[in-house]
Amino acid sequence: MIFLVISCPCALVISIPMSWFGGIGGASRAGILVKGGNYLETLSRVKTVIFDKTGTLTSGKFSVIDVSSNVMSGPELIEIAALVESHIHHPIANSIKSEYAKTIDESRIKDVRQISGLGAKATVDGNRVCIGNEKFMRDMGVEFDRVDSAGTVVYLTLNGKYIGNIVISDKIKEGARSTVCKLKREGVDRVVMLTGDRKIIGENVAKQLEIDGCYCELLPNEKVEKLEQFLKNRRLGQSVVFVGDGVNDAPVLSLADVGVAMGAIGSDAAMEAADIVLMDDDIEKIPLAIKISKKTMNIVKQNIIFSLGVKFAILFLGSLGITNMWLAIFADVGVSMIAILNALRALKVKSK
């Protein structure tokens, strides 16, 4: 009977899940939604963190800083662009609509179509209008005046002819640089950025944030290919985390070992595909999430070692006839309670 009571696995069966629940609960108190204990375990082994740029490392709050056209006035160009972007929910589209600041006349717009990673097209007042990046213009075979700027440049065509461009600027998020430093302190070997923006923009952001690697002018499928390369080259036992916010990031978020999405400005598709969601878009909580995952893993290991160690020690004493039933009950119920109390430490999270 003494052997039977001691060997009961209550401490392991109860305390280990409690540790995961404690880690998930502690993370949720800090505004980090973790969808399962397995993601905390994977996060604790992260060595590479890959960021999307717009809306993740940068604020995603664009503003128009320059408008250029040889065939019409700046306000007219903004009006045409706003009409095309009227049904599109993207930071760049939103900035153009904010600059227009007038009610959109839906009767003037037909056949709106968004082309992922390139731009959009629509029929405005019977004319075919396209708006997008350099690659979009080249794909359509349009001759255009290329603009070198540290901001995001969108080009417009009217019935197949280039009519002008709009330069839009985005700001780096407060705390983005400190996040990169904290990730390094948490044991992350490499921080990388993937973006669909031009090289000059991406490299400028990467330089300011001291990011290890930067890959620019990527379409959504090319981001997936880059991530697959990182996953293929990672060492056994190490994991790769991707952090993004947009619809275009959903395939990459689902493919990564751990996908982290922005909860406030992120799209529904991104949050659905992600394993962890930052409810207030504070990227400084990514190092905090890693710290919570490592603390949780340590508690899980402590509970395993403590539970098995005490049980085997008392079983040994029992084999010598030294153990009584009271000590056997302690080895079962007492050890379980101690392990559960230890697991509750995972609920306590220090933000700093």
List for the chain the helix, strand, coil content (%; round to 5): 50, 20, 30
Query: How many angstroms separate the CA atoms of 190 and 239, rounded?
Result: 11
* H or E element, residue 38: helix 37-43
DSSP state of 9: -
* Alpha carbon separation from 123 to 83, 102, 111 (Å, rounded): 9, 19, 6
Q: Which two tokens stand for residue 181?
A: 């430093």
CA distance 349 to 345: 9
Res. 131: pLDDT tops 90: yes
Task: Provide the CATH number for the domain formed by 2-59+172-291 in this structure.
Answer: 3.40.50.1000
Q: What is the pLDDT of residues 220-229, one digit of tens each?
A: 888 999 999 9
- Strand stretches in the chain, DSSP E: 32-34, 46-52, 63-68, 109-115, 119-124, 127-132, 152-158, 161-169, 190-194, 213-215, 239-244, 258-262, 276-278
End-to-end CA distance of the chain: 49
pLDDT of 48 reads 93
How many whole angstroms separate alpha carbon 258 and alpha carbon 290? 11
pTM > 0.85: no
Q: What is the topology classification, in CATH, of domain 63-169?
A: Calcium-transporting ATPase, cytoplasmic domain N (3.40.1110)
Most confident stretch, 90-94, 167-171, 297-301, 330-334: 297-301
Weakest-pLDDT range from 18-32, 263-277, 278-292: 263-277
The catalytic site residues sit at 52
Residue 153 pairs in a beta bridge with 167
Sequence ranges of the domains in the chain: 2-59+172-291, 63-169
